[in-house]
Amino acid sequence: DWNMHNFAERVIEECREKVGGGHVICALSGGVDSTVVAVLLNKAIGHKLHCIFVNNGVLRENEGEEVVNYLREHFDLNLKYVDASKLFLDKLAGVDDPEKKRKIIGHTFIDVFEQEANAIKAGGVSVKFLAQGTLYPDVIESVSHKGPSAVIKSHHNVGGLPEKMDMDLIEPLRELFKDEVRAVGAELGIPESVLWRHPFPGPGLAIRIIGKITEERLNILRKADTIVQEELRASGWYRKVWQGFAVLLPLKTVGVMGDGRTYESVIALRIVDSVDAMTADWSRIPEDVLAKMSTRIINEVRGVNRVVLDISPKPPSTIEWE
């Protein structure tokens, strides 16, 4: 794509000029936006870009390692993987309020990130900039301060980061819409499997485990969620829907296995169509795909004996359950 090629060239040049001899740090989530930012800046300033990936303990199965390894191998990204999962899970222990979960994860993330940034600075390099994957719609929303969902759920998890760290922002994607970010990413050689990932919330699986988070419940949700991802991809529906995932409910119901009665957890399937996440409708996934997901979850995930399908539109429901 010639336009995106030009865009990438121009932005790489602009970033190089803006940064001068300084260094930049960037929080890499593995999502589309932060990945494209990191690869763009890497082309502009190489190892003067310091990417930090924080494992917050509530990631999907393999979410962290896969993306990190890929980016290191294919783009020679200067990237540090920080496993802070124990810290996050300790702080989340016993918490069931969704907004509290978000706050804990947001604050802990800032603490961890700040510590890593300070370690880089202590190494003697002058870190002047913080890179962020802000898109054009975010720019508009923050100007008008009217993102309704932002009021209902405190979405902007790392909102306080730039102010707190006394760094200038560098936002290479702030002129772009999501589809353009993908086009730039493709131009830069980022694979489709990364560019077409579904959005994944900052608080991760924490807001998909309704109620208290435990290692055991995380394991159950991870396994069920992996099956949902696998079946969406295998059936060709992954690219057709906006988001699809599993939610672990805080209740047990009765089932039967062999001669015995079971009393186990319920998984809800949440699969939606949307263009901007402001409104959404449940995806009309073929019955055989749903059947496969259900059968596999019940057979393969110990501790689950029932699967239900969420058929609620947004509004009045939201995409996430918390």
Known binding residues for ATP are 29-35
In this complex, which beta carbon is closest to ligand XMP, that of residue 153 or of residue 292?
Answer: 153
State the Cα–Cα distance between residues 284 and 278, nearest whole angstrom: 19
184 half-sphere exposure, CB direction, 13 A CA radius: 30
* Pairing label, strands 127-131, 79-83: unpaired
Cβ count within 10 A of residue 151: 10
From the centroid of its chain, how far is CA 40?
Answer: 19
CB of 98 or CB of 303, closer to ligand XMP: 98
Q: Build a one-symbol-per-residue string for 146-185: x at contacts with ligand XMP by CB under 6 A, - elsewhere.
A: ---x---x-x-x----------------------------
Q: Which stretch binds ligand XMP (CB under 6 A): 20-28, 65-73, 198-206, 287-295?
A: 198-206
Is residue 203 part of the contact set for ligand XMP (CB under 6 A)? yes
102 binds ligand XMP (CB under 6 A): yes
Residue 201 interacts with ligand XMP (CB under 6 A): yes or no: yes
Peptide bond into 137 cis (omega under 30): no
Q: List CB contacts of 195: < 8 A, sequence separation 6 or more.
A: 32, 182, 185, 186
CB-nearer residue toward ligand XMP: 42 or 226: 226
Closer Cβ to ligand XMP, 179 or 287, answer by number: 179
Minimal distance, residue 64 CB to ligand XMP, in Å = 16
Nearer to ligand XMP, 133 or 202 (CB): 202
Q: How far is the CB of 101 from ligand XMP (least distance, A)?
A: 9
* CA geometry: angle 283, 319, 82, nearest 5 deg: 115
Annotated binding site: 29-35
Residue 135 as a binder of ligand XMP (CB under 6 A): the answer is no
Per CB under 6 A, 43 contacts ligand XMP: no
Contact flag: residue 60 with ligand XMP (CB under 6 A)? no
What is the C-alpha separation between 244 and 186, in angstroms, rounded?
23
> Of 127 and 241, which CB lies nearer to ligand XMP in the complex structure?
241
Helix crossing, 287-300 with 215-234: angle to 10°?
150
Which DSSP category does 318 fall into?
-
CA–CA gap between residue 127 and residue 52 (Å, rounded):
13
Instruction: Kindly tell me which residue out of 66, 96, 141, 320 binds ligand XMP, with binding defined by CB under 6 A.
Output: 320
* Interacting residues of 287 by C-beta distance below 8 A, sequence separation 6+: none
Q: Is residue 318 close enough to count as binding ligand XMP by CB under 6 A?
A: yes
**Binding window for ligand XMP (CB under 6 A); candidates: 36-44, 107-115, 197-205, 210-218:** 197-205
In the shown chain, the binding pattern of residues 272 to 311 toward ligand XMP, with x for contact by CB under 6 A and - for none, equals -----x----------------------------------
Question: Closer to ligand XMP at the Cβ: 172 or 202?
Answer: 202
Write out the E strands in 164-318. Answer: 168-170, 243-257, 260-273, 281-282, 304-309
Q: Shortest Cβ distance from residue 159 to ligand XMP (Å)?
A: 11
> Which residue is it, tokens 């969406």?
232
What's the Cα-to-Cα distance from 181 to each of 7, 11, 64, 90, 263, rounded to whole Å?
10, 12, 21, 36, 46
Interface residues with ligand XMP (CB under 6 A) are: 102, 149, 153, 155, 157, 199, 201-203, 243, 277, 314, 318-320
